[in-house]
Amino acid sequence: MKKSVFRFMGAVLSLFLVIALLPLGEVYANSSVNVTVDRRQVIFPDQEPLILQGRTLVPVRGVFEQLGFEAEWDSVARQATLKNAAHTIVITIGSNVFTTNGVSHSLDVPAQLIGNRTMLPLRFPLESIGYYLDWDSQTRTAIVSTSLATRPALRPRVGSEFGYGNTRLSEMHYGVRHDFEHDFIPQVASSRASEITGFLRNNNASGFSTMLNDGWVDIAARWIGEDLAHIGSSGANINLDNAISRERAFNDYGLTPSFHIQNITIESINPTTTAAIISMSDSGWFILSTHIALVHNNSSGIEVFLLERDFNDGSRTVFLFRHLASGSRESISVIDNSLTAFINDIKEFYS
């Protein structure tokens, strides 16, 4: 069996990979398609990517060599083998099955030779080694990421504005945190007021914590599910209704409640007022809170207060003491970013 290793100038056959993207029609050889690996542009010296019947054909030498793989072609077995220190991917022409480290995986399109080029869907080999593939339709870019931490944000300009950066992972953390603080907390203050009152009267921080954690998990599961749907994930095999897969997904994304919810205490404000104080991690992101209070007063019932990081005023970071009332976010005063200052302002509000 004769094998030859692909070299930059000496390839007999070039291995091309088909990325399952958008149904864009027939061949568009002159339509610009970009490919990045961990934010670095892939350069294709001898063959640019092209789109064929809704599939983007990408030379393997450009993508997988940038990922640190070597490629071998076995002309007798009609197999292409991609190797690095950790993984071996074997692709057989005419088969809709490939192997990664000896484990079989299915392809939605069989590997095939077109114009002496070997083709197959790129997404599945990438996912089989734990990598990710996104498609940016605006820039027509296939985005390969070797980890969640290197995936780009879907809305990087928003990330820059709100301080969480330009990665998809930080974008998701901000989104879950925002939905927890801006949507879930006001909603439970209204819909579960009697339950919260019971927690406060009985000094039951544990029960209150369970309620918050359950709400956080539901929000995070929605964000993770939407992200998996966005990347068309199949190789991840994550079923969010399965407890083990759910826990793995939360750990992979780092979206466990304890990552952001640091502490929960119940504080007496005055003889008729008690507060559950939620201390959040200080992410440095704008329009998020470092402390949240759900306060029960015998006269006014449950109310919500925030110690929230506002946008910088140009010279310093500003924190606001906010009161949520009837769907509005009333800003009462500028405040120091400390738990003591927060509790003192709550006491002053009820004095």
Residue 169 has pLDDT above 70, yes or no: yes
Co-location of 292 and 217 in the same domain: yes
The residue count of the chain comes to 351
Co-location of 161 and 102 in the same domain: no
Co-location of 171 and 318 in the same domain: yes
Summarised one tens digit per residue, pLDDT across range 123-165 is 888 888 988 888 888 888 888 998 888 888 888 889 989 999 9
* CATH number, residue 109: 3.30.457.10
Out of 128, 148, 168, a domain closes at 148
Co-location of 345 and 230 in the same domain: yes
pTM: 0.77
Nearest residue to 33 (alpha-carbon basis) of 8, 62, 4: 62
How far apart CA 117 and CA 49 sit, in angstroms, is: 12
Co-location of 117 and 225 in the same domain: no
Summarised one tens digit per residue, pLDDT across range 48-103 is 777 766 667 777 777 888 999 998 889 899 998 999 999 999 989 888 899 999 99
Summarised one tens digit per residue, pLDDT across range 244-297 is 456 667 778 889 899 999 999 999 999 999 999 999 999 999 999 999 999 999
Out of 148, 164, 191, a domain closes at 148
Cα dihedral sign, 259-261-262-263: negative
Summarised one tens digit per residue, pLDDT across range 31-49 is 578 889 998 998 877 777 7
Co-location of 277 and 165 in the same domain: yes
Co-location of 187 and 130 in the same domain: no
Helix (H) or strand (E) run with residue 303 in it: strand 301-309
Out of 114, 148, 182, a domain closes at 148
Number of domains within the chain: 2
Co-location of 91 and 189 in the same domain: no
Q: Which domain holds residue 203?
A: 156-349
CB neighbourhood size of 195 (10 A): 14
Co-location of 97 and 117 in the same domain: yes
Q: How far from chain centre, in Å, is Cα 72?
A: 34
Co-location of 253 and 334 in the same domain: yes
Contact 91, 118 (CB under 8 A): yes
Co-location of 68 and 9 in the same domain: yes
Co-location of 179 and 222 in the same domain: yes
User: At 257, phi and psi to the nearest 5?
Assistant: -55, -40
Residues 182-205, mean pLDDT to the nearest whole number: 95
Summarised one tens digit per residue, pLDDT across range 13-25 is 344 444 444 333 3
How far apart CA 56 and CA 52 sit, in angstroms, is: 6
